[in-house]
Amino acid sequence: MSDHGVETRQFGHRARLALPPALALKADHQAHAARTMWNLLHAWWQMMPKEKRTLQNADAAIRQGRQDIDFLAVLPAQAAQAVLKTYFQAWKNCWDGRADAPNFKGRFRTVMTVDVPQGRDLNITRVHRRWGMVNLPKIGRVRFRWTKDLPVGKHADKENRITGARLVKDPLGWHIAFRVQTLEPVPEPHRGPEIGIDVGITVPLARSDGQTYEHDAWLTEREQARLLDLEQRAARRKKHRKPGERTSHRLHHTYDQIAGLRAKAKRRAADWQHKTTTKIADTYGTVVVEALTITNMVKSAKGTVDQPGRNVAQKSGLNRSISAEAWGRTVTLLTYKLAHRGGTLAKVPAPNTSRRCSACGFITPGSRETQALFVCKNPGCGWTGNADHNAARNILHLYRMGHALIPAAGRAVARRVQRVKPATAR
C-alpha cells in the first residue's frame, strides 16, 4: 500500500475461448508438448548428479530438446520457459514442506494447460459487447467471451495491466485465465452488521438471523438420468474389455460425455457460490464461521482388514455430500471478497456449536432431536428452533465473547469451552 491510499491488487479472470477445430488442435498439440517437456525435465533431473541440477543446465537442456525434437517446437519459447520455472518452483515447494515431490504427468490424468507469461503478447481488443479478441502465440487471433472489463487499450498502464495468461482445457472446452494487476483505492472499513454462518448439507448456509441460502440440484432430472445412463454404459463397456486391452474410442467418447455433465454441474455450483458470497460480502462487515478441518471430516471409514470400519457406505455418502458442498471454497471466497470490501472474516472453535443451546448455553443430551430441529432439554429453558439457526447463533456468540481463533506461530490457538453465557442479544 502506498501513501496515496491505494493498493496493488492481483486477481485472475477466466473466459471461454471460441476456438475453431483447427486452432483447438493446435492448442492441444501445445498442451501435450508442455506435458512432454515437464516429463523430460523430470527424467533429466533424475539422471543428473546433484551438483549439475541447476537452472542454467536445465535451460540449456530444453533449448537443445526444442531443436532436436520437432514435436516440442510447437510450444512457444516463452511457454517452455514457464514449464521450466514451474518445475523448479515445484521442487522448492517440496523442500519447504508445502507439497509433495514432483512426478511424471500422465496423458489422461493431467489438466491440459499452456502458459503465456508475457501480457504484451496477448494484444487484447474488444470487438463487441460480448466478445473480445486475443492473440495466442503460434495459434493466432481468437475470440473469447467478454464478461468483465479488463485493463486493455487506453485503460492499460504500468499499474493497471494484464501481466500474462494461461490456457486451460476442461470437459467444456478451452478457456483462458488472465492474470490482472490493478491499482485500486484502499477500501474503507465495512460498516455492515455482524453475522454468524453455519455450513451444512441439507441447508448449505444458515445465518444467525434465521435466513438461509439454499440451492436446487446442480443437474436437472433429465440431465441426471442422462448421466446415470452414460455411467451404466461405460461400466458395461469396461466390463467386456480384456485385461491389458486399450480403451476403445467409444468408451473414451462415453467418458468425455460423463465428464461434460459433471463439469456443467461443477460450473453451476461455482456460479452459485460466487453469487451467494458476493451478496454476503456486500451486506455484512464481519462474517463468523467455524474453523472446520474438512480433510479429517471426509476421511474414509473403511478401516483395515483386522479392524474393518462400520457404516462404510453411509460414511462414504456423507463424505461425497460434504465434498460436493465445497465448504472450504466458500470460506476462501468470503475471505478475499470481504477483504476487498473492507470487511472481516473470523473463525471460532467448531466443537459443540450444534449441540449447545443458543438461549441458555447448556449442552444437554438429546437436544438435537432431528437433523433440522433443536429442542433444549434443560428444564429451565426449553428453547425450540431450527438446528442450523441455533448453530449459527452459537457461532456468532462465540465471536462476541472473544473466542475467535488467533493465529500464532503459524497455528490457530483458541480457548475452547464447554459452556458459555447465554446468547441473548442478536
Give, for all 426 residues of the chain, the pLDDT tens digit: 444 588 888 889 999 999 999 999 999 999 999 999 999 999 999 999 989 989 899 999 988 888 888 889 899 999 999 999 999 999 999 999 988 999 999 887 889 999 999 888 899 999 988 999 999 999 999 999 999 889 888 878 888 899 999 999 988 899 999 999 998 888 888 888 999 998 888 889 999 888 899 999 999 999 999 999 999 999 998 888 878 788 888 988 999 999 999 999 999 999 999 999 999 999 999 999 998 887 877 777 676 556 666 767 777 888 888 888 888 899 999 998 999 899 999 999 888 888 888 888 888 887 776 778 888 887 888 788 888 888 898 899 888 888 887 553 333 333 333 334 444 443
Rounded distance, CA 325 to CA 304, Å?
A: 28
Q: What pLDDT sits at residue 426? A: 38
83-89 CB contacts, 8 Å cutoff, 24+ apart: 83/34, 83/37, 83/38, 83/41, 83/115, 84/41, 84/55, 84/58, 84/59, 86/38, 86/115, 87/38, 87/41, 87/42, 87/45, 87/58, 88/55, 88/58
Q: What pLDDT sits at residue 183? A: 87
Entry field: residues in the chain: 426
Sequence-distant (≥ 6) Cβ neighbours of residue 54 within 8 angstroms: none
Q: What pLDDT sits at residue 303? A: 66
Which residues are bridge partners to 271 per DSSP?
A: none
Rounded distance, CA 77 to CA 73, Å?
A: 8
Rounded distance, CA 112 to CA 33, Å?
A: 10
Q: Residue 14 is placed in which grid cell?
A: 477466466
- Which of 200, 145, 214, 146 is closest to 327 using CA atoms? 200
Rounded distance, CA 327 to CA 219, Å?
A: 20
Residue-wise burial string across 256-271, b where 16 or more C-beta atoms lie within 10 A, e elsewhere:
ebbeebeebbbeebee
